[in-house]
Amino acid sequence: MKVVKKVNEMSKISSSLITKGFVLGLVPTMGYLHEGHLSLVRLAKSQCQKLAMSIFVNPTQFGPREDFEKYPSDFEGDYSKAIKEGVDYIFLPTDKEMYGTDYRTFVEVSKLSSIMCGRSRPGHFKGVCTVVLKLFNIIKPRRAYFGQKDYQQVVIIKKMVEDLNLSLDIVSCPTVREKDGLALSSRNKYLSTEERKSAAELYRHLNLASGMIGKGERDLGKIEKIITGNLKKVKHIKKVDYFDLRDPVSLKELKHAGGSGQKILAAAAVWIGGTRLIDNIIIKI
C-alpha cells in the first residue's frame, strides 16, 4: 500500500492505472477509520481492481464553530486497518495541497443543500461537493463509495454527478451499527459513557416512527411532532436539529404516507452534549 501526499503524484498514478485498464475505486474518508468505513472498502474491493482511499479532514465543510480543529485522527491506526483490507493507495493531502493559498472555486447543489443538515450547517454541502469533485478529478475513479449513514450527502453527490455529467458510478453502502443500534461514527469518540447510552435512542426513535407507520398512522406531520417531542425528553439530548420524514429520492417533505410499497426516509440530527449525531432509516410500507 502506497501513501500519496501530492495531488500531481496521485493524478499520475491513477492515470497510469486507468491506461493499463484497471477499474479504479475510491473511498473518500476523513480518517479515524471504523467498521463503517471498512465496509465501504470491502464492497469496493469486491467491485474494483485497484482501490484508493482518501483521508482528508476537509476544512471547507466545517462551519466556524464546528469541530474541525478537534476532529479525531489516528493515522497509524488507519494505515494498519487500510493495509489489512487491501487498500492500494491512501491519498493523504494537506489542506495547502488541496486548496493552495488563493482558493476560489466552489460547487453547490442548490435546494438539496439547504434542507435537513444544510439548515443548521450552512455551507457544509458546498464544502463536501467541492472536495468530492476535486477528489474525482484527481483520482478519476470508475466507482466511488459512500455510506447511507450520510444519506443526504449521497443524494447530493449523485445529483452533482448527474448534473455535471461526471462519468463514474456512485455506490451507496448500508449503515454499520453497534449492537444497540448506534451508527458507527468517528464522532462517537466525543461521547461520555453516559452520553453514549443516550446516543442509541436516536436509532430507537427512528424505528419508533417506523412502528407508528406500521400500525397504520398516515399523518406524518403528527409522527414528526411526537418523535421530536420524545427525543427532546431523552437524557443528554440537548437539541433536536430535525426529525424529518421525506421522500428518499427527492428528499421532499412528505405530509402523508401513501399505500403499500412506498418508501419513506426517516432522518434525524440531535445534539448529545456537545456532539452532533445524525442517523436515518428507510421505512418500507
Q: How far apart are CB 36 and ligand AMP at their closest, in Å?
A: 2
Q: Which of 37, 124, 205, 236 is catalytic?
A: 37
Q: Which of residues 8-37 bind ligand AMP (CB under 6 A)?
A: 29-30, 36-37
> Closer CB to ligand AMP, residue 37 or residue 246?
37
Q: Which of residues 126-165 bind ligand AMP (CB under 6 A)?
A: 146-147, 149-150
- Find the shortest distance in angstroms from Cβ 110 to ligand AMP: 22
In the bound complex, what is the minimum distance in angstroms from residue 18's beta carbon to ligand AMP?
23
236 among known catalytic residues: no
Return the range that interacts with ligand AMP (CB under 6 A); candidates 69-77, 173-181, 209-217, 225-233: 173-181
Residue tagged 470491502 (cell numbers) = 42
| Residue span binding ligand AMP (CB under 6 A) among the ranges 7-15, 168-176, 190-198, 266-274 | 168-176
Least distance in Å: CB of 176 to ligand AMP?
4
| Contact with ligand AMP (CB under 6 A) among 39, 113, 188, 275 | 39
Residues belonging to the active site: 37
Can you give the binding site for ligand AMP, defined by CB under 6 A? 29-30, 36-37, 39-40, 146-147, 149-150, 173, 175-176, 183-186
